[in-house]
Amino acid sequence: MRIALIGAAGQLGTDLLKCLPHAHPLTHAEIEITDSQNVAAVLDPLAPDIVVNTAAYNLVDKAEDEPERAFAINAQGPETLARWCNEHNATLVHVSTDYVFGADAGRTLPYTEADESGPLGVYGRSKLAGEMAVQGGCPRHFVIRTCGLYGQAATKSKGNFVKTMLRLADERSELKVVSDQHCTPSYTADVAAMIAAILKTTEYGLYHVTNSGAATWHAVAAEVLRLAGKSTPVIPIPSSEYPTKARRPGYSVLDCRKAEQLTGLTMPDWEDALGRYLAEIH
């Protein structure tokens, strides 16, 4: 089984490579997913049976100012990969986001794969367009929605939430963190393990893969500092006191039972995952 892993140097890609050690790693410098000729030039010689795409434009606020770039990477790129995979009888694994949800204010139940999407901003809309391109362009596909990723290899563009909180706790006398956005921050090692297990099947389709449980970003920040032994106060604030260009979902917790039932694996609780991550980076 030949696997091409696109975005291999990123947070999720790094851990996927550990779970799929025989995969051929491809970084942004090695493949341009928005260019069909480049995609063919890179993938044709490799002849992968499976293409895993973790590449994404994930600057949520900046996407509001450059929607063309967001859609090029998050929608046009997956469409190009789906076309190549369909023409070469390959399977495409595409990673998406909880930000395809959020429009139904007042939501309090985790989203299943059957729930209607409703993104709030350009980033979410571009990722949803990418999902649809994959679903419509390649029958043998796995679309994996996940949330709030953090891992050993923090993204070059924005780091990750956990490392940011640790840094700010050393720089400031107190931290103010929003307490009205509910989601499930997820450790890339756990997400990668589940994706690798899903890949052993041919039950193609859409899957939610996050750690279990739900938390606000304030709760996550407080737990990060508690586990790290830092005493910096963490003050809860509403989103209205931390204005951003792009709106965030008030609730975007994902129901992962479909993936768990398929694989027999249980996704660890977010607090357990956070504890393991902090132990590893320290």
- Does 175 map to a domain? no
The pTM (predicted TM-score) of the whole model is: 0.95
Instruction: Decide if 112 is inside a domain.
Output: yes
Q: Is residue 239 part of a domain?
A: no
List the domain range (segments joined by +) for residue 80.
3-158+187-211+254-267
Share of the chain above pLDDT 70, in %: 98
Would you say residue 102 has pLDDT above 70?
yes
Q: What is the pLDDT of residues 109-132, one digit of tens each?
A: 999 999 999 999 999 999 999 999
Question: Given this model, what pLDDT does residue 158 score?
Answer: 66
Note whether residue 111 is domain-resident. yes
How far is it, in rounded angstroms, from Cα 137 to Cα 142?
12
Q: What is the pLDDT of residue 159?
A: 76
Domain CATH number, residue 153: 3.40.50.720
pLDDT band at 156 (very low <50, low <70, confident <90, very high): low
First to last CA, the chain: 36
In tens, the pLDDT along 48-93 reads: 999 999 999 999 999 999 999 999 999 999 999 999 999 999 999 9
Dist CA 135 CA 142 (whole Å): 8
pLDDT of residue 42: 98
Please give the mean pLDDT across all residues of the chain.
96
Residue 258 within a domain: yes
233 pLDDT more than 90: yes
Q: What is the pLDDT of residue 154?
A: 65
Q: Is 99 a catalytic residue?
A: no
Q: Which is the catalytic residue, given 99, 111, 123, 207? A: 123
Q: Is residue 229 part of a domain?
A: no
Domain count, the chain: 1
Domain membership flag for residue 151: yes
207: Cβ–Cβ under 8 A, 6 or more apart, which residues? 113, 142, 143, 144, 145, 198, 256, 258, 259, 262
* DSSP string across 186-255: EEHHHHHHHHHHHTTS---EEEE---BS-EEHHHHHHHHHHHHT----EEEE-GGGS--SS---SB--B-
Q: What percent of the chain has pLDDT over 90?
A: 93
